[in-house]
Structure 1
């Protein structure tokens, strides 16, 4: 057999290059498949977390309503204190005058 023609050597190099390209494409395909599995896992995680987040949101809304109710109760108590305060002050002054009279009477006696 004689020397190998140059075109055969170039063909072998081309086949080797195509083979490496195919391996690269297969590697990319595996990476894409792995990424697809990761996306599916994230999707399942989001599906699992969504009801919990909804429950947390509803709890926050319930707490907000409770805080509003407490705020209204505090306002009502504040108004009641404002209404009762003058009456208590009047009762204290009457009681104080009565006590002073009683002490004065007791001392004079």
Structure 2
């Protein structure tokens, strides 16, 4: 189920086509294959925001650590900022769709869908 979430598939049926386009908030309300409603409770997407924040912060930290391993601890702040800023802006935007399907899969594991969650 987590693999389905990581690969932008429905956690319930593995169906594709969950997004109208690759952009923020472009996920469909229900799975086109099985009809699973993704936002099963108010505030559902806060978990996806948390997952995205953790992954993005880890990517920025990994970028800074890698730069320090390559150039040493006397690397300039300008270089660190020049490397970390694009990662800090790009990763959250690009990872958003994955964080939404991954969080939906985690939620489905914690609270298995009931018949009322399907269309």
Higher relative CO (CA 8 A, sep ≥ 6), structure 1 or 2?
A: 2
TM-score over 0.5 for the pair: no
Of the two, which has the highest radius of gyration?
1
Higher helix fraction (1 or 2) = 1
